[in-house]
Chains A and B, each alone.
Chain A
Amino acid sequence: MTDTKTLVQNFDFHGEALDSIFATYKELREKCPVGHSDKYGGFWFLTKSDDIFKVEQDPETYSVRPTMLVPPVADFPMIPIDTDPPELTEYRRILLPLFTPQSLAKMEGPVRDVARDLAKKFVESDSTDATAMFARALPTIFFSRLAGFPEKDWPKFDAWVDDILYERTKDPKRAKAAEKAVVDYFENLIAAYKGRTTQEANTGTIIDYLLEAKVNGKPLTKDELLSYCYLMFLGGLDTTAWAIRASLWYLAQDLKAQRYLREHPEAVPTAAEEFLRTMSPVQAMGRTCKVDTTIRGQKIKAGERVVLLFGAGNRDPEVYDNPEEIQIDRQDNKHLAFGAGHHRCLGSNLGRRELVIALEEFLKIVPEFTLGDLSEKWHGVGRLTLNIKK
């Protein structure tokens, strides 16, 4: 057993640390709810739901500059995630209309068609990897269409996302190379969009919205466009894939829950919230203190980094009964999987619907499934081997 001091100082929330992170969170919450890790240049971490909400809702004290990501995933500020109000509000306003409940209602059919198709192909194929065949494929196809990323480029996406998000703590050089590849890719793509004839123009994709947008009366600059596209690319694909994969990973091991949801598809939305709470695809995001402050008695100085551990807050016993238990019918669930406050995930309502529809269709089409390889973990977007009862 490592002692608490070592646990706090070495605390990490990437890679292998995720294997046993819920036990780590529990210990930290009980013994050191606000602590300081030496990783990634040093940061304070918050494990209590209440503390995290307060920071989220207080942009006056906590800035997202220079970046929300710990460690960083780009050497430029990403829009909108690395900007503070009032610019933040202007940038968000561009895409908000795409993600209202009214707009999302129109996407129901197309998402369901993609999900159904993929689930059928998965059942018919010899492959047992539900990540590649389903969990990753769904957002790649649906979100890329919505965003306006051309189909011929999709095969390149997974490797770029893996290198930038999952290799960065192990192999920063590789992450850097992928970062450059993605920036170059969007530079070319934006140029191609701008070069379109009027007949081809504006098909209502995210890129179209960004190209048409005006902020304070002016169109977005080339750097702003690139930065926004880069963030949408990183935010819209693997998060949803992780949520779908983690939910299937769980259901493959809890056959009672799997049977229940199969027989009661109306219970899927509530279950999906519980999967988001307990296996959040984004375990944490960072802020920087603008002024000296105190959280739960701990003094934090201006300029110091604060990491909001959404995954820990989501299992806070002060907020949830039996927080470590996955209860697919949990009623009160204001989890932090999508953050909160001014930076609340712009795509939260899309991500939710993709997850719910994915699970509904998968359960409708794929017969009872179990985990084929018990060494596969709950986290990430790696392989998920499912054995289907034939």
Chain B
Amino acid sequence: MKVALDAKRCQGHARCAAFAPETFVFDDEGFSRVREGFENVKPELQEKVRRACTNCPEGAITISG
């Protein structure tokens, strides 16, 4: 499973961080990105990342594979 974040859509709701703090990091203005090395989601983080995706109000997170 792979995760990607569309920076143009992200509006900084920080829901992703609430569900999957390991996978998402924030810049100084509060916008999210996928932590380096976490693009391929480890099995133990997959459920959390799935929830981050379904709870992101902007549809900025996509999951594939």
Contact = CB atoms under 8 A, between A and B. Distances in A.
Interface of A: 53, 57, 93, 96-97, 99-102, 269, 331-336, 338, 340-342, 344, 348-349
B57 to A, nearest CB: 4
10 contacts: A99-B30, A100-B26, A100-B28, A331-B51, A332-B54, A334-B57, A340-B57, A340-B58, A349-B14, A349-B30
B18 to A, nearest CB: 7
A100 B51 contact: no
Contact of B12 (A335, A336, A344): A344
Nearest to B11: A344
B60 to A, nearest CB: 11
Contacts of B14: 100-101, 348-349
A344 B28 CA distance: 17
Interface in B5-52: 9, 11-15, 17-18, 26-30, 51
B46 to A, nearest CB: 15
B58 A101 contact: no
Contacts of A269: 18
Interface residues of B, number: 19
B62 interface: no
A150 to B, nearest CB: 28
Contacts, number: 54
| B14, B54, B55, B57: residue with the most chain A Cβ atoms closer than 10 Å | B57
B56 interface: yes
Contacts of A331: 51, 54
A336 B57 contact: yes
A100 B24 CA distance: 13
Nearest to A100: B30
Contact of A93 (B11, B18, B29): B29
Nearest to A99: B30
Nearest to A335: B57
Contacts of A342: 11
A331 to B, nearest CB: 7
Across the A-B interface, the 10 shortest Cβ-Cβ residue pairs = A100-B30, A96-B29, A344-B11, A334-B57, A332-B54, A340-B57, A349-B14, A101-B17, A96-B30, A101-B14
